[in-house]
Amino acid sequence: MKIVCVGLNYRDHAAELGMALPAEPVIFLKPETALIGPEEPIVYPAMSRQVDYEAELAVVIGREARNVTAAEAGRYIAGYTCFNDVTARDLQRRDVQWTRAKSFDTFAPVGKEVVRGIDPSDLLVECYVNGERRQSSSTRNLIFPVPELVSFVSRVMTLHPGDLIATGTPPGVGQLRPGDVVEVVIEGVGRLRNPVVLEPGAPGPLED
């Protein structure tokens, strides 16, 4: 399976960062080995001193899709689930490209439930860390809505049943620490909860 992620896809997140809106989706891949489910621990790796949460709505592909239009995209979607695009932010800044920072084992928590029959165009997407809300926005702020994303990705690579498209994260991205519990909560979709643990021998996050 493929995990296709989209960078900088919320207007309010772009405004928060002072960045121009992209002309087309910026996509990257996470490996299947990064996948974990609800309640499984996110492991803070020894290579990183700053690991961030990124709450996202994920699209689950239900049929093989190649060169589909945005108007057709709904026929290829099996449903929606919660996703956390965990990122080693210090490594992302250091490497410039994103592969290492996004690809550690446990860096792709995904919800167990796949919810069908909902309209993804105006869903509340939130992230909580230890019960404190850190992110909150709506998918109506997506620069590229779900149908456009499915169409765009299908024109780059063939999508297969079970593939995921993570649609980008709202403003409020921030750092996780060992011992934290992070939750992605999406209206009509559900809740994804994961604890954070430190890899044995790892130095852990830098102090603020």
Q: Are strands 87-88 and 26-30 parallel, antiparallel or unpaired?
A: unpaired
Contact 110, 73 (CB under 8 A): no
Residue-level pLDDT at 19: 80
Task: Tell me the percentage of the chain whose pLDDT exceeds 90.
Answer: 91
The whole-number pLDDT of residue 20 equals: 87
Helix extents (H) in the chain: 11-17, 89-95, 99-103, 146-154
Sign of the Cα pseudo-torsion (14, 20, 23, 24, in order): negative
What pTM value is reported for the model?
0.97
Whether the pLDDT of residue 18 is over 90: the answer is no
Domain ranges in the chain are 3-198
CA distance 140 to 142: 6
Q: Does pLDDT of 176 surpass 70?
A: yes
Top-confidence residue, 203 or 207:
203
- Please report the pLDDT score of residue 208 as a whole number: 62
Please tell me the predicted confidence (pLDDT) of residue 10: 94
Residue 25 has pLDDT above 80, yes or no: yes
Nearest to 77 by CA among 182, 161, 166, 189: 161
Beta bridge partners of 190: 186
Phi, psi at residue 98, to the nearest 5°? -105, 0
CATH number of 3-198: 3.90.850.10
Query: Which tops the pLDDT comparison, 83 or 19?
Result: 83
